[in-house]
Amino acid sequence: MADIGNSNRIAREYIDSLRIETRYMDATHPETTFELYGGRFASPIMTAALSHLDHFMFPGAADALARGAAAANAVLWYGMASDEEIERLAAFGAKMIEIVKPYADREKIAKKIARAEALGLLAVGVDIDHPFSGDGGADVVDGEAMAPLRTDELAQICRGTRLPVIAKGVLSRRDAERCRAAGARGLVLSHHNNRIEYAVPPLAALPEIAAVAGDMDLFVDCEIKTGMDAFKALSLGAKGVCIGRPLMTAIKQGGADAVRDYLLRANDELKKAMAYTGCADLSQMDPTVIHRI
């Protein structure tokens, strides 16, 4: 019973409950290339914003993620890291999106975003879902206190940089509307690896959020593991998806080459699903091909 409220399990069960309707007539070989914030990429399947890989895994793990993403021409997302680590990862050539924690010291957020801009990163984001600890008090990560982000503060962040700003950790229409009002260019639908139990599965929240997103780009993580998972998310309104823990396993098994191969294989699975449903390219993704049992 201890696992009953685990949000990862709930999200996985929801993804697996979605079925795909096939559409063969007039279908063609699909194209998965897409554009994001001025960059052109091989696939909408990207890395998740992992953090502290060298600490939690082994020295060089973060480099392997960055090198693998560059080799697959995939967007590299990365989370909490030192300025020196971000600079090193950006040098591997993958277009990079840095996700910054909601530091109580707001000046630290501003400095990290300014550095990301100076490095020419693709975009920058803020973890809106990381202000609280397990007892609802203020979270402290690596000795740094966190604090909830207000709508006016997010608006100030968006106005203060040339980079697109993404809010990560959105699972409600309410937060989506406030992030849009603040000027966010994108949202990551995520429960941050079971940060709260019984969280709404990102794919379950996706259609309602897509209905109010306007021109914001929507991204999904949490239990996205395959190209078939990606297809379901993209059909329901996502711009792209982020794969996390499977890439950590790939790093352990074969480093950068294994990361590259995993991303390429997932994209081939996406192409298969698109071919079998009559989607010639990403602009033709259609929510009506998805059915829940």
Residue 28's pLDDT band (cuts 50, 70, 90): very high
Position 234 in a domain: yes
Domain extent for 131: 33-279
Bridge-based pairing state of the strands 144-145 and 140-141: antiparallel
**Do strands 217-220 and 240-243 pair parallel, antiparallel, or not at all (unpaired)?**
parallel
Identify whether 230 is part of a domain.
Answer: yes
Q: pLDDT (tens digit, 9 = 90+) per residue, 224-265?
A: 999 999 999 999 999 999 999 999 999 999 999 999 999 999
The enclosing domain of 247 has a CATH number of 3.20.20.70
> Rounded to 5 degrees, what are φ and ψ at 197?
-70, 155
> Is residue 145 in some structural domain?
yes
Which member of 29, 130, 192, 291 is catalytic? 192
Task: Give dist(CA 238, CA 125) in Å, integer.
Answer: 17
How far, in Å, CA of 144 to CA of 96, rounded? 24
Q: Quick one: pLDDT band at residue 3, thresholds 50, 70, 90?
A: confident
Count, residues in the chain: 293
Alpha-carbon distances, residue 12 vs 9, 191, 223, 248 (angstroms): 5, 12, 6, 18
What region does 222 belong to: left with phi over 0, alpha with psi -120 to 50, or beta? left
Would residue 192 show up in a list of annotated catalytic residues for this protein?
yes
CA distance 218 to 233: 10
Which residues does residue 145 pair with via DSSP β-bridges, in sequence order?
A: 140
Across residues 191-200, what is the average pLDDT?
Answer: 94
Say if CB 138 and CB 145 are below 8 A apart: yes
126-180 per-position pLDDT tens digit: 999 999 999 999 999 989 999 999 999 999 999 999 999 999 999 999 999 999 9
How many domains would you assign to the chain? Answer: 1
Mean pLDDT of 10-20: 98
Buried b (16+ CB within 10 A) or exposed e, 233-261: bbbbbbbbbbbbebbbebbeeebbebbbb
* Residues 46-73 as b or e (16 or more Cβ within 10 Å = b): bbbbbbbbeeebeeebbbbbbbbbbbbb
Q: Is residue 5 situated within a structural domain?
A: no
* 3-state secondary structure at position 187: strand
The answer as to whether 170 is a domain residue is yes
Tell me if 28 is assigned to some domain: no
CA pair distance 23, 2, nearest whole angstrom: 41
Q: Is residue 110 part of a domain?
A: yes
Helix locations, 99-185, DSSP H: 106-119, 151-159, 173-182
User: Which three-class secondary structure state does DSSP give residue 105?
Assistant: coil
Q: Is residue 284 part of a domain?
A: no
